[in-house]
Amino acid sequence: MIKLRNIEKVYDAGGSKTFVLRRIDLDVREGEFVSIMGASGSGKSTLLAILGMLDSQWTGEYYFDDTAVHKANQKQRAAIHKQHIGFVFQSYHLLDSLTVYENLDIPLSYRDIKPKERAAIVADTLDRFNIVGKKDLYPNQLSGGQQQLVAVARACIAKPKLILADEPTGNLHSSQGKEIMELFKRLNAEGTTIMQVTHSEQNAAYSDRIVNLADGWIVT
């Protein structure tokens, strides 16, 4: 499903170059559950943003299914993101001017689903994530942990074929974190491909394999 070849990312600030990703080769098959681990600053979030087609300032080759992403334009990349990818940002990125309910409805609005069915899916998701009572609140009225739950719910709600999650349980209680991992495990068993950035060995144990990054390199 994913094939990366020689992906490199460099920040060039006033003549001094910072290499953030170096010669990244990575293959992920449909249905895999992969953890990305590494020290702070090793390039995990950068790699996830490239995979999610949110960053286009890189060189190398990226194939997503049959699409050569490195040759696709911004519009094509955005279309693939909307149709196939659920993304959990490290800092949540909920839309501040929308309620929890409306935030959850956005990914569904990109799909060909009738409004009535959309409402049922949102209601079901609110219930499953135990946030029914929060549905009319705005993100700034929620705790960090609650925002993170909504962010995970939003990434999963439209059943994307790929979920990319950047430290999705970093702000949750361990029991909530475990529930998210159990949810990922279930979605993965149903065929969803999952890539998560995590610092937690416990979370990584839910995945099939671990990709270790150090100073922008994949190490084993």
Ligand X SMILES: Nc1ncnc2c1ncn2[C@@H]1O[C@H](COP(=O)(O)OP(=O)(O)O)[C@@H](O)[C@H]1O
Q: Does 43 bind ligand X (CB under 6 A)?
A: yes
Contact residue for ligand X among 11, 76, 120, 182 (CB under 6 A): 11
Give the DSSP H/E element, type plus range, for residue 146: helix 144-156
Separation CA 220–CA 215 (nearest Å):
13
Instruction: Determine contact, residues 126/132, Cβ cutoff 8 Å.
Output: yes
β-strand pairing of 59-64 with 67-68: antiparallel
CB of 20 to ligand X, least distance (A): 4
CB burial of residue 199 (10 Å; 0-12, 13-18, 19+): middle
Return the range that interacts with ligand X (CB under 6 A); candidates 40-48, 56-64, 65-73, 124-132: 40-48
Separation CA 157–CA 26 (nearest Å):
27
Residue 18 touches which member of ligand X, Mg ion, none, C-beta under 5-8 Å by kind: ligand X
Q: Does 52 bind ligand X (CB under 6 A)?
A: no
Q: Return the number of the residue (73 or 220) whose C-beta is nearest ligand X.
A: 220
Residue 145 tokens read as 């942990």
Residues with Cβ < 8 Å from 15, sequence gap 6 or more? none
CB of 16 to ligand X, least distance (A): 10
Cα 8 to the center of its chain, rounded Å: 20
Q: How many residues does the chain have?
A: 220
Q: Does 38 bind ligand X (CB under 6 A)?
A: yes
Residue from 173, 179, 176 nearest 206 by CA: 179
Which residues in 133-192 contact ligand X (CB under 6 A)?
none
Q: Does 16 bind ligand X (CB under 6 A)?
A: no
CB of 90 to Mg ion, least distance (A): 5
Q: Does 35 bind Mg ion (CB under 5 A)?
A: no
Q: Return the number of the residue (45 or 196) whose C-beta is nearest Mg ion.
A: 45
The site that binds Mg ion (CB under 5 A) totals a number of residues, namely: 2
Residue 198 tokens read as 């995590």
Q: Return the number of the residue (20 or 142) whose C-beta is nearest ligand X.
A: 20
Which residues in 39-68 contact Mg ion (CB under 5 A)?
44-45
Residue 74 touches which member of Mg ion, ligand X, none, C-beta under 5-8 Å by kind: none
Q: Return the number of the residue (103 or 171) whose C-beta is nearest ligand X.
A: 171
Residue from 198, 184, 202 nearest 32 by CA: 184
Query: What residues make contact with ligand X under the rule CB under 6 A?
Result: 11, 18, 20, 38, 40-46
Query: What residues make contact with Mg ion under the rule CB under 5 A?
Result: 44-45
